[in-house]
Amino acid sequence: MNQHVTSFGDKNKASDMNLSNVGNANANKLASQGQFAYFANPANLWPDFLLGQASQPLRVILIEEDAHMRSVVGQELGGDPRTTLVATASNMREGKNLIANYAFDVMLLDLNLRDGMSFELLKYMRMHRPAAEALVISMMDDEEKAITAFDLGANGYIVKNSWFGNYAQAVLQVANGGAFISPSLARRLIKKFANSSHAELQQNRNQVIPLHTNGVLSFREREILELVADGCTSSAIALKINISTQTVTTHIKNIYRKLQVHTRAQAVSSAKNQGLLS
């Protein structure tokens, strides 16, 4: 079988997840311009308190079947000094190899690999690289597949050949605590949830997910989860409570583990159902 794994940097073993330890400088910038004003900015206007700096770019792996698409994504990521493409793969088996053997911050994943459902790779990434973020890319703006991907921990869904900005912007947004969904799909998802029946919503509210045996949330974890529920990004939370973005990320991962969830939305819903949030 032909191998399509391509490496663009040094290979790192095991858990070298070294997310940038950003400080709390320039707090007034975030307050004055808004949480998501930065992701379309060129690198020379990129605030120094966000993840993804020219001196320490976000590391990306790409698992994509189509060679032309790999080239397009690679050019966009390579054209932005805040992101760097570490390695690429073209199928599920090679993708597992990348996840297991390369250090990365964000995974871009083709949802339609012919040798297996990409959902399995999302599960595999969560098991082996829990601190990393995942963005799925697909030819189809399929609401059900998008919801499944989000349930498995993806924080973005990009429809190929649609207008959405660029891949570097998407990577920067999810790495800094946001989510990224192609506009056409986002609109359809909003309509889908808006049309949900009252009975379905009530059933979701009454569903209780048991806490992990490691115990209830700490005061700091509840404080952070309250801010997550208010829509704050990790960078905004760090500025509000005067800790680093990496420390916020660690707290959020601990919240996921304790509540046995994979996404921010699930954590907020579970905590509210259990009376942990107001």
The CATH number of residue 42's host domain is: 3.40.50.2300
| Model confidence pLDDT, tens digit, residues 33-60 | 443 444 555 666 778 888 889 999 999 9
Residue 149 shares a structural domain with residue 225: no
Give me Rg for the CA atoms of the chain.
18
**Domain for residue 255, yes or no?**
yes
Residue listed under structure tokens 């079947």: 65
pLDDT of residue 252 exceeding 90:
no
**pLDDT value of position 190:** 62
**pLDDT value of position 150:** 84
Residue 166 shares a structural domain with residue 216: no
Residue 140: pLDDT band with limits 50, 70, 90: confident
Mean pLDDT of the chain: 76
**Domain for residue 38, yes or no?**
yes
**pLDDT value of position 44:** 63
| Model confidence pLDDT, tens digit, residues 192-237 | 665 554 445 555 545 444 444 344 788 888 889 989 888 888 888 9
- Cα–Cα distance measured from residue 135 to residue 179, given in angstroms and rounded to the nearest whole number: 9
Residue 44 shares a structural domain with residue 156: yes
Residue 215 shares a structural domain with residue 176: no
Range of the domain at 265: 197-273
**Domain for residue 157, yes or no?**
yes
Q: Where a domain ends, among 146, 167, 192? A: 192
Q: Do residues 189 and 180 touch, judged by C-beta distance below 8 A?
A: no
What's the rounded mean pLDDT across residues 180-193?
67
Residue 137 shares a structural domain with residue 221: no
Is the alpha carbon torsion for 226, 231, 233, 236 positive or negative?
negative
Residue 137 shares a structural domain with residue 254: no
Structural domain total, the chain: 2
Residue 256: pLDDT band with limits 50, 70, 90: confident
Q: pLDDT: is 63 or 20 the higher one?
A: 63
pLDDT of residue 160 exceeding 60:
yes
Residue 87: pLDDT band with limits 50, 70, 90: very high
- Number of CB atoms found within 10 A of residue 26's CB: 13
**pLDDT value of position 236:** 85
